[in-house]
A and B are shown apart, each in its own frame.
Chain A
Amino acid sequence: MENEKEKIDLLFEKNTKEQLAGIDWGKFNGAISARLDEADLSKTSRSKLPTVFKIASGVAAAAAVVFIAVMVRTERPMDLQLEDGQRAVVKFIETKGSASVEIIEQNGEGKENGSQAAWIIIRMPEPVLVADPFLQGADNGANGYLRDLIHLF
């Protein structure tokens, strides 16, 4: 591209030369090296953190999957088949209202056999709109779990 230069290029060339003439290239190289050292340090500290973050993000992802699965499963009717032929109706609310439920644990046999679980522990993560005095004031803590279990069985 050298052979097509015009006056304006020569003017730029002059300015560029003047600008670059004052540079101490050794110092400049040192400055870049220092910046790269900083980048190395931050890269190292980043590489130490990921283990913690990977675990945390893994847990969060698993929780998200469980949550989605639970939300999907709450679409099911609220009566659960516990064992062969047995049928139990879980009434969270006497006859009205609804609540999304979170499945805490269930036995694996039912899933492996392609049938529904024989037992299931659930909790209600949301306040329940009921007139049932027993359920009124249900919270999301241990007491809430207990009541849910009582209602289930």
Chain B
Amino acid sequence: MNESREANSSDIGRLVEASQAGDRGAFDELVRLYQRRAMRAAVRILGDANEAAETVQNAFVKAYLNIDKLKEPRRFEVWLLRIVTNAAISQQRAARRRAERIKVINCHEDKKAVSLVDKAVGEELKEAIRAALLKLSKKEAKAISLFGLEDLSQREAAEVMGCSVAAVRWHVFKGRQKLKRLLKEYL
């Protein structure tokens, strides 16, 4: 059970309301509760922890600046995951456009707040997954990402994506089909 799920929805609601009233500490607590879940969702779309970390930081800033627009405090998780997955998809599209760029991540790794990956392990798999993820449509990538979040119901995933449960299942199915084909040598 993850930390965000340990806190019940009324606790979350109170923290959100306090954040909306300008309590920065309350928002910090929301960050602490949801950072792992947000990272997990982002990594599943981007396939890379460094990019996911940047995306999640941006997403939390966006959530912080727009917290007063959240009408139903108890639905913070769905709202946050929507921000995170949208940000990750944008980041992924940008990554696709920069596909030919020289990778410089290692050069400034020390500057990053997160020193993230044991590069010796699974680097090849990571790159293969990243490449495969770029072949998915936005909805397929989101559905696959949300599918991997433990304790997230299909209904919640559908809420995050703004579509029906049946549509989520369809996108998961289609996404899996593509990924199976693209990653068959790893299966």
Q: A31-B57, A36-B61 are in contact. Are A15 and B47 (CB under 8 A)?
A: yes
Contact pick for B113, options A8, A22, A27, CB 8 Å: A27
Interface window among B8-16, B34-42, B79-87, B90-98: B34-42
Q: Which residue, A2, A22, A32, has most C-beta atoms of chain B within 10 A?
A: A32
Check B60–A22 contact: CB distance below 8 A.
Answer: no
Q: Sort chain B's interface into a size bin.
A: 35 or more
Residues of A within 8 A of B (CB): 1-2, 6-9, 11-16, 18-25, 27-36, 38-40, 43
Check A1–B147 contact: CB distance below 8 A.
Answer: yes
B residues less than 8 Å from A39 (CB atoms)? 61, 64-65
Cα distance A31–B36 in the bound complex, in angstroms: 14
Check A22–B36 contact: CB distance below 8 A.
Answer: no
Interface SS majority for chain B: helix
Q: A19-B43, A19-B117, A36-B27 are in contact. Are A9 and B148 (CB under 8 A)?
A: yes
Q: A8-B176, A29-B31, A39-B65 are in contact. Are A19 and B60 (CB under 8 A)?
A: no
B residues less than 8 Å from A9 (CB atoms)? 147-148, 176
CB distance from A143 to the nearest CB of B (A): 52
Cα distance A68–B22 in the bound complex, in angstroms: 41
User: Is B121 part of the binding interface, using a Cβ–Cβ cutoff of 8 Å?
Assistant: yes
Interface window among B70-78, B100-108, B179-187: B179-187
B residues less than 8 Å from A22 (CB atoms)? 49, 115-118
User: Is B44 part of the binding interface, using a Cβ–Cβ cutoff of 8 Å?
Assistant: yes
Check B24–A40 contact: CB distance below 8 A.
Answer: yes
A residues less than 8 Å from B31 (CB atoms)? 29, 32-33, 36
Contact pick for B183, options A8, A18, A28, A34, CB 8 Å: A8
User: Is B159 part of the binding interface, using a Cβ–Cβ cutoff of 8 Å?
Assistant: no
- When C-beta atoms are compared, the residue in chain B nearest to A38 turns out to be B61
Check B148–A24 contact: CB distance below 8 A.
Answer: no
22 contacts between A and B (CB under 8 A): A1-B157, A7-B180, A11-B129, A11-B183, A13-B148, A14-B125, A15-B122, A18-B126, A19-B47, A20-B39, A20-B40, A22-B115, A27-B113, A27-B114, A28-B113, A28-B114, A31-B53, A32-B56, A33-B31, A34-B113, A36-B27, A36-B61
B residues less than 8 Å from A1 (CB atoms)? 146-147, 149, 152-154, 157
Scan residues 137-187 of chain B and give those whose CB is less than 8 A from a CB of chain A: 144, 146-150, 152-154, 157, 176, 179-180, 183, 186-187
CB distance from A149 to the nearest CB of B (A): 54
User: Is B89 part of the binding interface, using a Cβ–Cβ cutoff of 8 Å?
Assistant: no
- When C-beta atoms are compared, the residue in chain B nearest to A30 turns out to be B113
Q: A9-B148, A12-B44, A36-B24 are in contact. Are A20 and B183 (CB under 8 A)?
A: no
Check A23–B49 contact: CB distance below 8 A.
Answer: yes
- When C-beta atoms are compared, the residue in chain B nearest to A43 turns out to be B65
B residues less than 8 Å from A7 (CB atoms)? 180, 187
